[in-house]
Amino acid sequence: MKDNRENPAIKDAQERFTFIWNILKENYPDPEPALNYKNPLELLVATVLSAQATDAQVNRVTEKLFSKYQTLEDFAQADLNELEMDVYSTGFYRNKARNIKESARIIIEDFNSRIPEDMDGLLKLPGIGRKTANIILSRAFGKNCGIAVDTHVARLAGRLGFTDSKNPEKIEKELMALADKVDWEDLSMTLILHGRRVCHARGPECEVCVVNHLCPSSRIA
């Protein structure tokens, strides 16, 4: 629903963020992740597959994948060519299959068959960057260590005036400074949802955006 409130006098980035975040929270009260998973291992695999792929496509692949490969050992011992074909439709399938297989081996050998529950440990796994690690830590282990910055989050953070940076790590730090820690996971998911539904990379639908009166990039006069 379009927000018709008048544009308040905004003094700084923190105030803009507070106004915008309060409205977005009202409009996305239960931001849920779109990837399907049942445990930390499935989440790790799904997030690796989600790079440059839609969540819907990843879910179609993992529906069969997680029936075929159910343990770390299954992935670690998988025939690489076969695993590549199993994840083929998510794109970049060779890298993704290799990273999943190697990550499973490392977790078994270096982490006693337990998915790492800290940023440093997760970043030792191939194919896992800060974005993916933040998702795993928050959704699998309930640990808010940072904010997952994907292309949607980066785009909206810039358009909404939360940051001037294009660097994901700097964007993450600036968003962490603006938001309460308890909101970090929801903030990422909310910006992703708003980016998918309204604030598209091309042709943002400013006329129906609930924060168009606060957005410095709005096309609404």
Q: Which of 86, 96, 101, 131 is catalytic?
A: 131
Say what the pTM is.
Answer: 0.86
Per-residue tens of pLDDT for the chain, all 221 residues:
444 455 666 768 899 999 999 999 999 998 877 899 999 999 999 999 998 899 999 999 999 999 999 999 999 999 999 999 999 999 999 999 999 999 999 999 999 999 999 999 999 999 999 999 999 999 999 999 999 999 999 999 999 999 999 999 999 999 999 999 999 999 999 999 999 999 999 999 999 999 999 999 998 85
Alpha helices for 29-150 (secondary structure H): 40-49, 55-68, 72-76, 80-86, 93-110, 119-122, 130-141
Q: Which of 3, 74, 150, 183 is catalytic?
A: 150
Neighbours of 24 (CB within 10 A): 21
> Is the backbone of residue 52 left (phi > 0), alpha (psi -120 to 50) or beta?
left
Two tokens at 172?
Answer: 């993450």
Q: How many residues does the chain have?
A: 221
State yes or no: is 150 an active-site residue: yes
Q: What domains can be seen in the chain, in order of their start residue?
A: 13-30+146-208 (1.10.1670.10), 40-141 (1.10.340.30)
The annotated binding site for [4Fe-4S] cluster is made up of 199, 206, 209, 215
Asked if 123 contacts 110 with a C-beta cutoff of 8 angstroms, the reply is no
By CB atoms closer than 10 A (0-12, 13-18, 19+), residue 135 is buried
Two tokens at 24?
Answer: 């977005």
The annotated binding site is made up of 199, 206, 209, 215
Q: What is the C-alpha to C-alpha distance for residues 133 and 123, in angstroms, rounded to an integer?
A: 7
Find, among 160, 156, 150, 154, the residue nearest to 20 by Cα: 160
